[in-house]
């Protein structure tokens, strides 16, 4: 049975690997011009031992903890030195617990890792934050339709 | 042992803003215990799981897929599971033998003819299909199965490691197996009395992931569809006492607000039953949890 080349390309498979003939096929490509910056994450301190201004997450990684120099420093004996971090992956923001002693919680649930959504409550030590996604600029993603040979 | 939710929705994928918190992909879990990797069901969530593995793999993928049953929302992602097309990878696939065939024949039939353009034979990974039994071992993990009441049947899985116990009981309508089902039907507020075998299967779980598709008020009109109302789930939790319970298989009609309301309903019934030492929450796509006794968070200062 003949395999579908477009489908296999979606799975990052080569046509030759799948044993299918190479044929002309219409294809829509999404071209991403650099990291997609449509949204920025904002971490708003809500309650606890710290009193922090909102942190806009524009870097690929920010760390929360007691260690001096981290993006979200906490004067909190319940927080580990490097307690948790937020990684940016395009428009997604992923919270990771860094093997902290007292855990990282999202909406009261202890997590190892969590893709954050707007409105999430994040607890680190004795501090509570609210996460928000905000529009942070124009889309840099373009749809390009071509007829490939 | 950790578990990651790649798909939490029931019945059909439900993308969109109304479901972005709990997720729109159908059933798929990734369980890791050291080097041992299990995938429970291949709903639409398995596509992103496979893509993540392909991006991060530093060597051949070795994993075991366990199927609870083969309704669409539990298999529809299988043909899109990229690691299965990569030679050098090894996948062991467990599923229940049915009258129509074994797991290989049944999965192959979903990728045949008019249904899908790529046949199972295009998968270049080493695929080892095996029938499930009551109990078997995968690396360090002891697996037990239990037949759940669901149209066509469904297997529950209990996964035991040295550091935790996970029970996965999706797609079940436990009211139909309750010893006092007539009383419950007459008065849905009545506490269910479940069969001892079910309670034994669930008891000792650090994390119970359980079908909680319907709000209580929705259930009567959906009786026989094979899914639980939240009161049933709470009664199971009260009798089997998991340390954590994840409400799962969210109804495709339910918005994030409705799923959150379901959790609130669960809290209310748990409190009325006097259960206060259990963490109950709605399963959420994109979340990884450790399977073990959860520590309560620190008390917040003001």
Picking from A7-16, A56-65, B70-79, which range would have the lowest pLDDT averaged per residue? A7-16
Stretch A64-91: mean pLDDT: 96
Would you place residue A136 in the very low, low, confident or very high pLDDT band (cuts 50, 70, 90)?
A: confident
Q: How far is A119 from chain B (nearest CA, A)?
A: 9
What angle do helix axes B230-240 and B256-272 make, rounded to 10 degrees?
50
Stretch A124-144: mean pLDDT: 78
Of B4, B117, B294, the CB nearest to A3: B117
For chain B, what is the mean pLDDT? 97
Would you place residue A23 in the very low, low, confident or very high pLDDT band (cuts 50, 70, 90)?
A: very low
Of B2, B285, B300, the CB nearest to A128: B300
For residue B106, pLDDT over 80 is answered with: yes
Share of chain A above pLDDT 70, in %: 66
**pLDDT per position as a tens digit, B210-268:** 999 999 999 999 999 999 999 999 999 999 999 999 999 999 999 999 999 999 999 99
Stretch A24-32: mean pLDDT: 52
Report how far residue B250's alpha carbon sits from residue A6's, in angstroms, rounded to the nearest whole number.
Answer: 32
Would you place residue A2 in the very low, low, confident or very high pLDDT band (cuts 50, 70, 90)?
A: very low
Q: Mark residue B113 as left, alpha or beta (left: phi above 0; alpha: psi -120 to 50; beta: remaining).
A: left
Query: Tokens at residue B133, please?
Result: 């039994």
Is B165 in contact with B205 (CB distance < 8 Å)? yes
Report how far residue B60's alpha carbon sits from residue B88's, in angstroms, rounded to the nearest whole number.
Answer: 6
Which residue from A minimizes the CA distance to B124?
Answer: A18
Would you place residue A58 in the very low, low, confident or very high pLDDT band (cuts 50, 70, 90)?
A: confident
Contacts of A117 in chain B (CB under 8 A): 20-21
Report how far residue A81's alpha carbon sits from residue A102's, in angstroms, rounded to the nearest whole number.
Answer: 11
pLDDT attached to residue A148: 53
B54 contacts chain A (CB < 8 A): yes
Which residue from A minimizes the CA distance to B81?
Answer: A11
Q: How far is B213 from chain A (nearest CA, A)?
A: 20
CB contact (8 A) between residue B85 and residue A18: yes
Can you give the pTM of this predicted structure?
0.91
Q: At a CB cut-off of 8 Å and minimum separation 6, what does B244 contact?
A: B206, B207, B208, B278, B279, B280, B281, B289, B294
B299 contacts chain A (CB < 8 A): yes
Residues 3-32 of A with CB under 8 A from B: 3-4, 7-8, 10-13, 17-19
For residue A19, pLDDT over 90 is answered with: no
**pLDDT per position as a tens digit, B34-52:** 999 999 999 999 999 999 9
Burial (CB < 10 A; 0-12, 13-18, 19+), residue A9, is middle
| DSSP string for A37-87 | -SEEEEEEEEESS-----EEE-SSEEEEESSTT-SEE---TTS-TT-EEEE
pLDDT attached to residue A4: 52
Contacts of A99 in chain B (CB under 8 A): none
For residue A76, pLDDT over 90 is answered with: yes
Q: How far is A142 from chain B (nearest CA, A)?
A: 21
pLDDT attached to residue A147: 60
């Amino acid at each position: 049975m003949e395999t579908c080349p477009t489908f296999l390309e979606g799975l990052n498979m080569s046509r030759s690997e799948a044993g299918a003939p190479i044929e002309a096929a219409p294809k829509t490509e999404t071209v991403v011009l650099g990291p997609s910056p449509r949204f920025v994450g904002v971490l708003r301190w809500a309650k606890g031992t710290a009193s922090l201004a909102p942190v806009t997450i524009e870097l690929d990684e920010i760390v929360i903890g007691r260690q001096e120099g981290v993006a979200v420093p906490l004067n909190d004996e319940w927080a580990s030195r490097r307690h948790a971090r937020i990684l940016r992956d395009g428009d997604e923001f992923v919270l990771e617990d860094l093997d902290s002693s007292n855990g990282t919680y999202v909406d009261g649930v202890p997590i190892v890792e969590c893709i954050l959504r707007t409105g999430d409550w994040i607890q680190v030590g004795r501090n509570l934050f609210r996460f928000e996604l905000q529009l942070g600029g124009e889309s840099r993603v373009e749809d390009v339709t071509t007829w490939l040979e | 042992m950790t578990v990651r939710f790649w798909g939490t929705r029931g019945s059909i994928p439900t993308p969109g803003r109304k479901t972005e918190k709990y997720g729109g992909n159908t059933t798929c879990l990734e369980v890791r215990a050291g080097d041992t990797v299990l995938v429970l069901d291949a709903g639409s969530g398995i596509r992103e799981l496979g893509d993540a593995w392909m991006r991060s793999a530093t060597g051949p993928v070795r994993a075991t897929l366990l199927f609870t049953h083969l309704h669409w929302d539990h298999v529809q992602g299988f043909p899109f599971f990229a690691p299965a097309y990569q030679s050098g990878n090894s996948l062991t696939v467990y599923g229940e033998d049915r009258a129509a065939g074994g797991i290989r024949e049944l999965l192959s039939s979903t990728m045949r003819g008019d249904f899908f353009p790529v046949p199972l034979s295009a998968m270049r990974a080493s695929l080892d299909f095996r029938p499930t039994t009551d109990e078997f071992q995968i690396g360090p993990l002891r697996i037990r199965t239990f037949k759940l009441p669901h149209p066509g049947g469904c297997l529950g899985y209990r996964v035991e490691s040295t550091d935790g116990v996970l029970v996965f009981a999706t797609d079940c309508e436990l009211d139909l197996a309750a010893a006092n089902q007539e009383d419950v039907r007459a008065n849905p507020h009545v506490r269910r009395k479940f069969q001892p075998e079910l309670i034994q299967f669930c008891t000792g779980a650090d994390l119970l992931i359980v079908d909680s598709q319907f709000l209580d008020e929705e259930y009567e009109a959906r009786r026989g569809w094979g899914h639980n109302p939240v009161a049933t789930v709470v009664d199971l939790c009260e009798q089997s006492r998991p340390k954590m319970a994840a409400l799962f298989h969210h109804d495709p009609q339910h918005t994030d607000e409705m799923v959150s309301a379901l959790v609130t309903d669960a809290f209310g019934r748990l409190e009325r039953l006097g259960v206060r030492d259990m963490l109950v929450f709605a399963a959420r796509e994109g979340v990884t949890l450790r399977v073990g006794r959860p520590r309560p968070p620190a008390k917040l200062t003001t």
